[in-house]
Copies of this chain bind each other. A is one copy, B any other.
Amino acid sequence: MKVSIIGATGYAGAELLRILCRHPEAEVVHITSESHTGEKISGLYPHLRGCCDMELESMKDMEPIGRDSDFVFVCLPHGHAMDVGRALENTPVRVIDLGADYRFADTAVYEEWYHVAHTHKGAERVYGLAELYREEVRTAKIIGNAGCFTTASILALAPLAKHHLIDVNTIIVDAKSGVSGAGRSPKQGNHFPELYDSFKAYNVAHHRHTPEIEQAIEDLSGEKTIINFTPHLVPMSRGILATCYASLNPDITADMVDAAFEKMYSNEYFIRLLGRNGYPATKDVRGSNFCDIAWHIDERTGRVIVLSAIDNLVKGAAGQAVQNFNIANGFDEKLGLDEIPMYP
């Protein structure tokens, strides 16, 4: 399959190249950047030197890109993928957007949280969280790849929500991310000495991944859901750990919780269940598409605490996109993604 990457110079784009350049069924034909048009991607990312030395093009004219591509991966800031989606609307090209533009079934939610008008409201899109929306992904024209925090959070809570084991309105997700999640553009707040040996929260009660988690929990539980989601910045490069709290419904036992996780995930290659009382660590999944999950029951408070770990750039972005690409093409889901995590 011929694939192109629109907006290839961010971390997600570079990670897509790392994966797609070794994918046995993908050939990268175009990569784009408006600010670095004409430059080699390996000049911006020396780790790619000798592995991928493609030249960056402009996306201004999407026509030739669309003509040459079977799939287009979009790694643009929110609000810009819609332009690509519309430009490719009447072509056979399928689109995987790593941003937020196509994540919401209800575009009003998108507009409320992202403060931009949605300009592609009737799009034939699905939510690209592979383990939960696999059937929809198979045939979708446009896949709104799930966000990084949301992937970790939803996968952690899905079995509990689906089997009505928890009161969904008691959900609190306290999430922690490495700094690559904030992108590659230098900012004062992400300047090395500012973050090193420091830890803090950000966007409390306002992070845009909140409604995305709510949408999925509502899909699974059938119940209106409002949650707390709190992101934090960890002084490390990669990885997300989500610590998810919820009150168990009356008479729910630990065994029922165990069974729900087993039932939903025992056949999912990319989900590794560490079982009750386990402790996922972000390093154990680093560089891989795995999501490691464990859960704890607190008998004293009647709450379940679910822990999940992913690599934000792989299962939280580029890896999940390729997993969706594999599904959409009927390939083995592991194709190009069967890398063992890099430790230590």
**Which residues of A are interface residues toward B (Cβ below 8 A)?**
11, 14, 17-18, 21-22, 45-52, 169, 172, 174, 176, 178-180, 184-188, 190-202, 204-205, 226-228, 230, 232, 234-239, 241, 243, 245, 269, 272, 274, 277, 279-288, 290, 292, 296-298, 300-301, 303, 305, 307, 309, 338-344
Partner of A205, one of B14, B50, B297, B343: B297
Assess whether B344 is in contact with A180, with CB atoms less than 8 Å apart. Answer: yes
- Residues of B near A286 (CB, < 8 A) are 47, 197-198, 342
Assess whether B235 is in contact with A194, with CB atoms less than 8 Å apart. Answer: no
Assess whether B196 is in contact with A22, with CB atoms less than 8 Å apart. Answer: no
Partner of A179, one of B193, B198, B288, B292: B193
Assess whether A298 is in contact with B228, with CB atoms less than 8 Å apart. Answer: yes
Assess whether A235 is in contact with B192, with CB atoms less than 8 Å apart. Answer: yes
Q: A22-B340, A186-B186 are in contact. Are A230 and B305 (CB under 8 A)?
A: yes
Assess whether A187 is in contact with B184, with CB atoms less than 8 Å apart. Answer: no
User: Can you list 20 A-B contacts with CB-CB less than 8 angstroms, sorted by A residue number?
Assistant: A14-B343, A46-B274, A174-B243, A176-B176, A176-B199, A184-B344, A186-B188, A191-B191, A193-B237, A193-B344, A198-B239, A198-B282, A198-B283, A204-B277, A204-B305, A205-B297, A234-B234, A234-B235, A237-B344, A287-B287
New A-B pairs, 5, CB < 8 Å, besides A192-B192, A200-B280: A47-B342, A50-B272, A202-B279, A228-B305, A235-B235
